[in-house]
């Protein structure tokens, strides 16, 4: 037996950082900031209160990059800080509630699930990453659309028309982007190790 110590293979990109509580707090905070910055990339769509943003791309990349618990913690920080007054929701909005707050709550579950799937290796290959991101995106809608329906007092069909249908093509493009970014990051990591 040699005197070397086996080093665990990193499950997610955040595992490449030397583990410490300071590193975890920094990564969680950076994930929330990244999402807040991408939330400002907004395109208002006619006929709906829900804007197209790059926010969901941030949520899914943060979840896959940080893993389940750090990703969920990062999106919890994002939701709580925004609810308490940090103007980093879409259109520099802040505060608890509003028609789109269900999506913000969905970010927590989506980051946790996306992170869990990434920990299994589902963010290292483009097709697997695409599947991981697709599942995470569906989770966001499972929170956002019912909240929108209840908030506006509309039917499920109307809520889908306002908070889901207009975003399908844009979300597919964001998923494709994530399916390229994360495997490329892993490729670079593997090449330099």
7 pLDDT above the threshold of 70: no
Domain ranges of the chain: 13-192
Of the chain, the percentage scoring pLDDT greater than 70 comes to 96
Q: If you average pLDDT over every residue of the chain, what do you get?
A: 92
* Segment 14-64, tens digit of pLDDT: 999 999 999 999 999 999 999 999 999 999 888 888 889 999 999 999 999
**CATH architecture, domain 13-192:** Orthogonal Bundle (1.10)
3-class SS string, the chain: CCCCCCCCCCCCHHHHCCCCHHHHHHHHHHHHHHHHHHHCCEECCCCCCCCEECHHHHHHHHHHHHCHHHHHHHHHHHHHHHHCCCCCEHHHECCCCCCCHHHHHHHHHHHHHHHHHHHCCCCCCHHHHHHHHHHHHHHHHHHHHHHHHHHHCCCHHHHHHHHCHHHHHHHHHHHHHHHHHHHHHHHHHHHHC
pLDDT band for position 170 (cuts 50, 70, 90): very high
Spatial distance between the Cα atoms of 118 and 99, rounded to a whole number of angstroms? 30
The pLDDT assigned to 57 comes to 95
The pLDDT assigned to 51 comes to 87
178 pLDDT above the threshold of 90: no
The pLDDT assigned to 3 comes to 53
């Amino acid at each position: 037996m040699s005197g070397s110590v086996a080093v665990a293979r990193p499950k997610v990109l955040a595992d490449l950082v030397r583990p410490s509580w300071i590193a975890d707090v920094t990564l969680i905070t950076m994930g929330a900031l990244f999402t807040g910055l991408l939330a400002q990339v907004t395109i208002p769509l006619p006929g709906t209160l829900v804007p197209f943003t790059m926010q969901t791309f941030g949520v899914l990349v943060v979840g896959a990059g940080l893993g389940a618990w750090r990703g969920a913690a990062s999106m919890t920080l994002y939701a709580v800080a925004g609810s308490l007054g940090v103007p980093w929701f879409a259109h520099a909005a802040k505060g608890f509630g509003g028609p789109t707050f269900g999506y913000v709550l969905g970010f927590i579950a989506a980051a946790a699930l996306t992170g869990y799937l990434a920990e299994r290796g589902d963010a290292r290959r483009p097709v697997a990453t695409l599947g991981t991101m697709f599942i995470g995106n569906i989770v966001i809608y499972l929170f956002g659309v019912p909240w929108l329906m209840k908030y506006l007092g509309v039917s499920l069909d109307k809520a889908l028309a306002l908070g889901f249908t207009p975003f399908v093509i844009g979300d597919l493009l964001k998923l494709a982007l994530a399916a390229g970014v994360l495997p490329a990051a892993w490729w670079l990591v593997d090449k330099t190790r």
